Structure 1
Amino acid sequence: MKKSILYSAMALSLGMSANANALEFLYDAGGKFNQNKVNKVVANAGGSVLDCIEEISVCKVEFSTLEAAKSSGLNVVPNASAFIPKIENVPVGAQLTVAEDYLNPPNSADDDFLFDLQWGHQAVGAVEAWNAGNRGKGVRVAVIDSGADGGHPDLAPNINIELSRSFVPEETWDYAGPDSFNHGSHTAGTIAAADNGFGTIGVAPEAELVILKALSADTGSGDSYGTMQAMVYAANIGADVANMSLGLSVRRNGLYDIEGTPYDTSDDIQFETASIAQFIQTYGKAANYAKQNGVTLIASAGNEGTDLDHSDSLMKLPADLPAVNSISALGPRLWGKDSATFTDHLAIYSNYGQSAIDFAAPGGDYTSAFMSGGFDACNVAGLVRPCYVFDFVFSTGNGGWYWSVGTSMSAPHAAGVAALIIGANGGNMNPTHVEAKLRELAEDMGKPGRDDVYGHGKVQAPK
């Protein structure tokens, strides 16, 4: 694990908005940061400064109207909503025992009694990595998501409470919402649930988790600025990997959602189409800063089932940024009936595209719900469910565990593999070298070289 760097006041809070109808924007101040100068420039342009990220000279500012921002003469773009991509999920009450040994699911006899439900570990070769002594020890992983259940027995042993933070107003990092389906708990568990003789096991079970809440546990939404804060903070605390199973609501036609309704364009605001390049430049400063300071960035590719090589609609950010690795989702079909079945079909919902996908990883699928036998009763690890359910990804939730599918689930599998790679290298590794090792180890499953489904290949753990 790298030593922490730059413990400066990353976000300079300058007060909340006094105007409930004001609109928020991202302002790229450029150059060396000077708070007094920024305050003066923004005020002279008719706006107010709400907060700044000193390290990248980007501020959250507000203007009374959209037209006021457009005519300000400043490099401002809307503070677009961040959100959890739409997913399918099935709840599970899991207080059932199965029985230890590092064998592959569903016959591992592991004392983490729900491990037999985690087919994704076999798909990425996690168990073989563990047997080779690679378990993620000494690696710090930031989970930029909707917080997590800090008291969960599978998560608590690996969470660094002191470093975990919330960038969502009025929500603590460990507030995980009103029900079991906490997205951040699920992704955190896939990455590094503890191998503690209880419940599930993460891909890198000895990695350290830092929970960085950028999305509300209640609404599943946040804003671009919060995710930028989290990326910069992750770099400042010496995180080795950051997982971002989230998206930003920015469309190529200049529509920005700022209301937390990413799939409804009726309440979007229209900014110049040319502003898209400015938004990517401004937002990308946080990702570039993180990567330059040692953080390997992983993000979900999105769940629209879209060929991203030929899409003119919702952009895939942060996944499309050059500093970020975009992960598509794979899944089996009727794994509950046959654990030897192929687990690497492109999931029915997963985005794809040769120019967009860097790697593929297990994200679960529901194709088998439309197949003969999909609704038959299957029994895995003592749990009886419709067979298609076992093709989902099983992981930790708020006060329990649950199944879910999505590129939100594939990204943390890749993040866990990245943690295993870094751990195998002694716990410190430049992101460029991590990405090179991911490419070297990846299983090339499509056409030779980079392809539209698997990118450089399906991620594989170091053996």
Structure 2
Amino acid sequence: MKKMYLMNRKTIWSIILGATILASCTSEFETNETEELKAISAKASFKKDFMVILKSEEIPDGFLAELESMGATLKSSIPEIGVAVISSTEKINSKISSLSDVRSIVPDLNVQWITPDLYPQASPLSIGSDELYFPLLWGMDAIDAPEAWNTGQTGTGVRVAVLDSGIDAEHEDLSANLNTSLSASFIPGEDWNVREGSFFNHGSHVAGTIAAADNGIGVIGVAPNAEIVAVKVLSEYSGSGPFSSINAGIVYATLIDSDVINMSLGAVFNKNGFITLEDGSVIKVPGKLISEIRIAQQRAIDFAYKNGVTVVVSAGNGGSNFDGNGSAIGLPASLNNVISVSATAPLSWIENPTGDLDLPASYTDYGKSHITVSAPGGDFDSPSDFWFYDMVLSTSPGGYFFSAGTSMASPHVAGVAALIIGKNGGSMAPHEVTKKLVNTADKIDGNGVSLYHGEGRVNAYRAVTE
């Protein structure tokens, strides 16, 4: 219902910046098998590509050559986490599985991480000067970002890797802080710099919330002097990407000495192995497959964590309670050593700018076991004709767009993490960053862990002053 509601409202809105709700998760989980299958949100394509997961988190000398000698085509390898990516057949895989170093072989699933048919349909608006759109950035007020900037903390010296669908390198609010020499793509056939003439780009929108420059133009990011690096792990055309690309992107971001990784992406799987394909059909695969895919991604996250990288991820947009739901696995939000972020929003903000900015967004996933902190993600449920102002405004090719989702909440937290690390001299252990975020978050629902806000809604000012 949310999808149709949003699309219907967009048809009457042709002159505003743009609107989208990027839904990567289902609305709820059911108990019987038929309804449970409908609740599986990950759309995966089975190709002839496979991940070979080794028992060790390293690749022995000669192992890759051995794979090729058995008839497999080596596509790539991630030696830091003991994973090789091959094109192969089941017959060849059977031989590879017999090798003593091999733990498992799983299809390299090409998963729909963001929903392409919900991209905005309206043209971007021309902008003026003097950061014309700053008054519309209610999210910055919600987390007290201006107060943090006034202390002198702007993220200087901090590198944030944006694992997403690329970034517009020519955008006037992004180019100054974008490290083009380190930016890279892990999607075959697509450059990290989004194609000319792109309409809306998810990664560019996320990047602007993190670190749009304080340059007197357009908008400003939470950490306006932080450096951003585009690490393309999703197709800018479809919002999909294979697990191997995401895992490789995490490792790459770590190897280039990123301080923070933002992953505004997510999908939900069922532990029993049900997978929904791109054509909508549902197949059952061994539950062990899902477990092994999770292990490979956890290795990548752990590699980043052990090497000093704070990993911030979106919690998911399915409106689902993960507490007590043992059948659901949200990746990467359910993994260890990540900061999982739920979304908050105002209601009819433009008509009541002093109202509550911390309402749980209508779509956000939640659960005390699932959420670390909350942050502004925007919403579209207001009955007002000006409902779109409740969403998050940020950069996109050709201008600026409103968007809503936990994808928009996560970069607010990544930006605050950059402020914290910047204040600490440009280096800080991930567990210390998490501790600071948690200890300085505003307890929206009172003391204790909240169902919707986790440890609380992040507060940039408190994070750099307490």
Please tell me the TM-score bracket, short chain as reference: 0.7 to 0.9
Letter in 2 for 1:404: S
Within the candidate set 100, 107, 125, 1:94 is matched to 125
Between the aligned partners of 2:119 and 2:194, the Cα distance in structure 1 is 22
Letter in 2 for 1:338: N
State the shift of 1:210 in Å: 0.4
Between the aligned partners of 1:216 and 1:177, the Cα distance in structure 2 is 15
Between the aligned partners of 2:352 and 2:61, the Cα distance in structure 1 is 61
Cα deviation digits, residues 395-434 of structure 1 (max 9, x gap): 0001211000000000001101111111111111111110
Name the structure 2 match of 1:253. 272
Secondary structure of 1:367's aligned partner? coil
Matched, 1:175 2:204: no
How many residue pairs align between the two structures? 411
Letter in 2 for 1:243: N
Between the aligned partners of 2:247 and 2:96, the Cα distance in structure 1 is 25
Name the structure 1 match of 2:417. 418
Name the structure 2 match of 1:400. 399
Name the structure 1 match of 2:248. 229
Report the more deviating stretch, 54-63 or 221-230. Answer: 54-63
RMSD: 2.4
* Cα pair 1:189 1:201 within 8 Å, conserved: yes
**Structure 1's 445 and 167: CA in aligned 2 closer, same or farther, altered over 3 A?**
same
**Structure 1's 85 and 448: CA in aligned 2 closer, same or farther, altered over 3 A?**
farther
After TM superposition, the structure 1 = structure 2 runs for residues 311-350 of structure 1, keeping only pairs within 5 Å, are: 311=325, 315-350=329-364
Matched, 1:78 2:107: yes
Name the structure 2 match of 1:5. none
Cα deviation digits, residues 204-231 of structure 1 (max 9, x gap): 0000000001111111111111111111
Secondary structure of 2:207's aligned partner? helix
Letter in 1 for 2:66: K
After TM superposition, the structure 1 = structure 2 runs for residues 279-318 of structure 1, keeping only pairs within 5 Å, are: 279-311=293-325, 315-318=329-332
**Structure 1's 449 and 126: CA in aligned 2 closer, same or farther, altered over 3 A?**
same
Name the structure 2 match of 1:274. 288
Q: Show structure 2 runs of 5+ residues with no match.
A: 1-44
Q: Show structure 1 runs of 5+ residues with no match.
A: 1-19, 100-110, 376-386
Secondary structure of 1:135's aligned partner? coil
Between the aligned partners of 1:26 and 1:201, the Cα distance in structure 2 is 40
Between the aligned partners of 1:28 and 1:390, the Cα distance in structure 2 is 46
State the shift of 1:276 in Å: 2.5
Between the aligned partners of 2:47 and 2:112, the Cα distance in structure 1 is 21
Report the more deviating stretch, 323-332 or 85-94. Answer: 85-94
Name the structure 1 match of 2:379. 365
Name the structure 2 match of 1:448. 447
State the shift of 1:315 in Å: 2.7
Letter in 2 for 1:64: T
**Structure 1's 66 and 76: CA in aligned 2 closer, same or farther, altered over 3 A?**
same
State the shift of 1:155 in Å: 0.3
* Cα pair 1:23 1:66 within 8 Å, conserved: no
Name the structure 2 match of 1:188. 207
* Cα pair 1:80 1:249 within 8 Å, conserved: no
Matched, 1:151 2:170: yes
Name the structure 2 match of 1:458. 457
Name the structure 2 match of 1:166. 185
Between the aligned partners of 2:110 and 2:46, the Cα distance in structure 1 is 16
Letter in 2 for 1:361: A
State the shift of 1:338 in Å: 1.4
Which runs of at least 4 in structure 1 moved beyond 6 Å after TM superposition? none
* Cα pair 2:124 2:398 within 8 Å, conserved: no
**Structure 1's 92 and 446: CA in aligned 2 closer, same or farther, altered over 3 A?**
farther
* Cα pair 2:271 2:291 within 8 Å, conserved: no
Within the candidate set 174, 183, 202, 2:221 is matched to 202
Identity of aligned residues (%): 40
**Structure 1's 21 and 190: CA in aligned 2 closer, same or farther, altered over 3 A?**
closer
Within the candidate set 58, 77, 101, 2:83 is matched to 58
Between the aligned partners of 2:48 and 2:267, the Cα distance in structure 1 is 17
Name the structure 1 match of 2:8. none
Between the aligned partners of 2:380 and 2:119, the Cα distance in structure 1 is 9
Name the structure 2 match of 1:383. none
Letter in 2 for 1:330: T
**Structure 1's 92 and 117: CA in aligned 2 closer, same or farther, altered over 3 A?**
farther
Letter in 2 for 1:160: N
Letter in 2 for 1:345: L
State the shift of 1:93 in Å: 3.0
Letter in 1 for 2:361: A
* Cα pair 1:347 1:365 within 8 Å, conserved: yes
Between the aligned partners of 2:403 and 2:164, the Cα distance in structure 1 is 15
TM-score (norm 1): 0.83
Name the structure 2 match of 1:351. 365
Name the structure 1 match of 2:134. 115
* Cα pair 1:299 1:411 within 8 Å, conserved: yes
Name the structure 1 match of 2:63. 37
Matched, 1:124 2:112: no
**Structure 1's 216 and 297: CA in aligned 2 closer, same or farther, altered over 3 A?**
same
Between the aligned partners of 1:402 and 1:42, the Cα distance in structure 2 is 47
Cα deviation digits, residues 426-459 of structure 1 (max 9, x gap): 1111111101111111111124222220011111
State the shift of 1:69 in Å: 5.9
